[in-house]
Structure 1
Amino acid sequence: MVTGSRRGRPYLPVGTLSISTSRSVSRIRTIRGCAAPGISLGRSSIGSSAWRRNILLVGNDVVDLHDSESRPGALHPRFDVRVFTPDEREALSASASAYPLRWTLWAAKESAYKVAKKLDPTVRFLPRDFVVGQIAEGRALVMHATGPFDVRLYRTDRWVSAVATLTVAHPSRTRGPFSAGRVSAGPTGAGLISTAVERLATHSADPSRTVREFARAALASRMNLPPWQVRIAADRGIPVAFWRDRRLPVDLSLSHHGRFVAWAASEAPATEPAA
């Protein structure tokens, strides 16, 4: 939930998030593939049209459901009104699992925002502008002026995580009510997506550094590269992966909250070089 820029939830009491580290791991993976030998590397910036064309942009978020700041009593009295649309609030009121649903909706909005920010650096995170129009079967559709976005949702009894990509086509690009239904997938063949959630158990490590180390090791392993030759830097606050001094053909998103860190990455198809 807290990104590398340390932007947290709005309307919460001022305070420092509880962050911890350990080797205990809770990991999820989606659409996997073999590392491609002979990958093409480039120096493209996130904002270039060639980069957006060849790489499936990705955004992620994680929420620690057991963190004290996630509890209803820690929220501003008008948190739901300021964050959720009337339809989303109605769904929360009708849900028997309103607590995890609240943070699932939040994670969907935040992950979509991270993709929107890559498309348009002027976009601000105004939660009600990111409208969850549909949610079903572990997926959500989030509507926004820069969208719509296809969001994959993951949940345990300890955390919720969301991974968003830009949806190229959908039957409706207008803002619709929160409802159950089918959610369209992202562009087929646009790239492989990997994601993981890691649990931390001590208070000694910097979560931003920890999540970058996890992501760096995973990317190096997938691409058959020495881990010490892979580094993650920031471009306008957005994480970017490099091999030596060359941009890797992946799009990367990082998040951390409470006891958990999470990363997500999409890879360009081996036949499509990064610009």
Structure 2
Amino acid sequence: MRLSIFLDRTLVGNDVVDLELTQALGKIEDERFIARVFSPEEQRVLAAADEPDRWLWTLWAAKEASFKAAQKLNPDLVFSPRRFVVFPLTSASAEVRLDDRVIQVVWTWGPGWVHSLAVLGKGQAEFCVEQRPPEANESIAVRELGQRFMAERGWDRVEFRRAERTDRRALWPQAFQGQALVPADLSFSHDGRWVAFALGETWQERDPV
């Protein structure tokens, strides 16, 4: 599969965190983790938060989602949490800064989960979060969610395949109808009981940059 990077697309990333997983509980007390992952500005946000554990995973999800979006502009990008600095704008939105790039993020809190949606570009994006059946495989469940979500928006019978680098390393998922690439960016996420899917605004086909 040929990998092309377009600069005029709405690129998305999303991340969901199950707050009731054992490894998520009480993480705010892990001082080494806090120092390794969060900038001084972010640590001040956590110190002032009424629900520091929920805010910790909200900031983490914002970083993860931003990485998923930014990687589509630079496939060699490595996830280093402290490089993605979250600057909250409201109780539900933020700018995430990666060097000189700014990524827009919105987050949502649900019962037992937090979700962040990152957007690069001027277009709109949508997302959904749902609880997977206990017996369902996470990877299969998130793909089935994505297929239903896209079918509701007119993209029937899509298949998901991962973009590949020239060295054949798999990257982010893309949607296809047959051999035709669906002209919209997307993102998968799953954690514990929850799966999440994000879909960016469709773009007009044009020659790759």
| Superposed pair shares fold, TM > 0.5 | yes
Runs of at least 4 residues off by over 6 Å = none
CA contact (8 A) 2:54 2:114 kept: yes
1:231 aligns with 2:159: yes
Structure 1 residue 135, shift from structure 2 partner: 3.2
The partner residue of 1:250 within 184, 195, 198 is 184
Determine whether 1:103 maps to 2:57. yes
Tell me if the contact between 1:133 and 1:140 (Cα under 8 Å) persists in the aligned partners. yes
The aligned counterpart of 2:166 is: none
1:162 paired to 2:121: no
Aligned alpha-carbon RMSD (Å): 2.0
TM-aligned CA deviation for residue 122 of structure 1: 1.1
What is the DSSP-based 3-state SS (H/G/I as helix, E as strand, rest coil) of the residue aligned with 2:68?
A: helix
Name the % identity: 34
Whole-Å separation in 1 of the counterparts to 2:197 and 2:53 = 23
Quote how far apart the aligned CAs of 1:72 are. 1.7
Which blocks of at least 5 consecutive residues in structure 2 are unaligned? 164-169
Instruction: Please report how far the alpha carbon of residue 223 of structure 1 lies from its aligned counterpart in structure 2 after TM superposition.
Output: 1.6
What is aligned with 1:145? 99
The count of corresponding residues between Structure 1 and Structure 2 is 201
Go from structure 1 to structure 2 and tell me whether the alpha carbon gap of 1:79 and 1:117 turns closer, same or farther (over 3 Å shift): same
Q: Deviations over 1:151-209 (max 9, x none)?
A: 01111231100010125xxxxxxxxxxxxxxxxxxx2xx3x42210010241x222011
| AA of the residue aligned to 2:146 | A
Contact 1:57–1:115 (Cα < 8 Å) also in 2: yes
Contact 2:119 2:125 in 1 (8 A): no
Which amino acid is 2:193 matched to? R
Structure 1 Cα separation of the partners of residues 67 and 31 of structure 2: 24
Structure 2 counterpart of 1:220, from 116, 126, 151: 151
Q: What per-residue deviation string (whole Å, max 9, x for no partner) do you get for residues 223-261 of structure 1?
A: 253x3xx10111132010001111001101000001000
2:167 match: none
Q: TM-score, normalised by structure 2?
A: 0.88
Q: Please state whether the residue corresponding to 1:134 is helix, strand or coil.
A: strand
Does the residue aligned with 1:150 lie in a helix, a strand or coil? strand
Q: In the superposition, relative to structure 1, how do residues 221 and 254 fare at CA in structure 2: closer, same or farther (>3 Å)?
A: same
Alpha-carbon contact 1:147-1:166 (below 8 Å) kept: no
Equivalent residue number for residue 194 of structure 1: 126
Rounded Cα–Cα distance in structure 2 between residues aligned with 1:95 and 1:217? 37
CA distance in 2, matches of 1:64, 1:156: 10
Kept in 1, the 8 Å contact 2:27–2:53? The answer is no
Gaps of 5+ in 1: 1-42, 168-186
Whose radius of gyration is greater, 1 or 2? 1
TM-score for the superposition, normalised by structure 1: 0.68
* Matched AA of 2:128: A
How far the C-alpha of 1:76 sits from its partner, in A, is 5.2
**Greater per-residue strand proportion:** 2
Q: Distance in 1 between matches of 2:86 and 2:28?
A: 24
Match 2:10 to one of 45, 52, 56: 56
Residue in structure 2 matched with residue 70 of structure 1 by the alignment? 24
